[in-house]
A = this chain, B = another copy of it.
Amino acid sequence: MAVYTEVGDEELIAFVGEYDIGEVLSSKGIAEGIENSNFTLTTTSGTYILTLYEKRVKPEDLPFFLGLMEHLATAGIPCPTPIHGRDGKALRRLAGRPAAIVTFLAGMWPRRITPEHCSQLGQGLAKLHLAGAGFGIGRANDLSLPNWRPLLMRSRDHAHEVEAGLADELAQELDRLEAEWPASLPTGVIHGDLFPDNVFFRARKLTGMINFYFACNDMFAYDLAICLNAWCFESDHSFNITKARRMLTAYRKVRDFSTAELAALPLLARGSAMRFLLTRLYDWLHTPAEAMVTCKDPLEYLAKLRFHQGVKSPGAYGLD
């Protein structure tokens, strides 16, 4: 599902020859992931990940993404580190596409989330937020509040196919979000997509955070709200307050959040639910039936949105 570009053996050997990472032993396309083409690359010096950037990633954003991973890795965050070629460059071209080799991270993403995972995640996210300080490149969030109404407009006429009255319900929610979206909370580099399948664990410890291709500058608390939605709901869409409390408590031990950030969490959680609902809705309505990808259910995020609409205070997330 995730290899769009085939790389020939001779082409790959020549490409890897530009690095000091030994000789190619093997390269296998990785089935997971839907944005880029990824390969497990084995050389005489070890295992790496080779990524070919496909059309959903803007080439002009690549220096931000690769530079950020390197900045974070240097600061001790367990994330992929871009490998530099002998000419100093980490971003190259292969098979007609921008391409990079990054370090391989041990660990597997958790299918069954426990409160302990959420605690580890909260701690890891806070460390990531602190480590982003001082990174010299900026990137606006192109999937934030100003982008949501245009996104809704593109799905509006068919949204009822997913749920009756959905377009109107979302338009009303957007009115509220646009009116109340916070403007003065602490900002910095956020991951923006830290779902369980982007986080590796080994022996119950967080060992890796991957897929920085939605990273950008935005409110730290918004990143936390994304994680609340991605990690603290059960498969029946019920909210697990124990997981949320563990996540927020662990986060706060590393980077304490302000009263204003805490108070904004319910609204930010609604905004985060809106963001994933709208992109999933768009993909659901616009992906051809014969495409080789599985669309994620937009209604999962409608249930999450409705939950947060009923939240009166951050006490519902286990903190006051």
Contacts and interface: CB of A to CB of B under 8 A. Distances in A.
A279 to B, nearest CB: 22
Contacts of A110: 9
A26 interface: yes
A283 to B, nearest CB: 16
Interface residues of A, number: 37
Interface string A11-44: 0110000000001111111111000000010100
Interface string A70-112: 0000000000000000000000000000000000111111111
A110 B1 CA distance: 22
Contacts of A109: 9
A203 to B, nearest CB: 8
A111 B31 contact: no
Contacts of A42: 47, 104, 106
B31 A3 contact: yes
Contacts of A241: none
A12 B290 CA distance: 31
Given A9-B110, A42-B106, A29 B31 contact: yes
B10 A112 contact: yes
A107 to B, nearest CB: 7
A107 B26 contact: yes
A111 B9 contact: yes
Interface in A28-68: 28-32, 40, 42, 47
A2 interface: yes
Contacts of A29: 30-32
A136 interface: no
A106 B26 CA distance: 5
A242 to B, nearest CB: 20
Interface string A183-204: 0000000000000000011110
A112 B9 CA distance: 9
Contacts of A112: 8, 10
A169 to B, nearest CB: 31
A140 interface: no
Interface of A: 1-3, 8-10, 12-13, 23-32, 40, 42, 47, 104-112, 200-203, 289-290, 292
Given A27-B108, A290-B290, 17 more contacts: A3-B31, A8-B111, A9-B111, A10-B111, A10-B112, A13-B108, A25-B107, A26-B104, A26-B107, A26-B108, A28-B30, A28-B31, A28-B40, A29-B31, A29-B32, A42-B106, A47-B47
A-B CB proximity, top 3 nearest: A29-B31, A25-B106, A290-B290
13 contacts: A1-B292, A9-B108, A9-B110, A9-B201, A13-B108, A25-B106, A25-B202, A26-B105, A26-B107, A27-B108, A31-B31, A40-B40, A290-B290
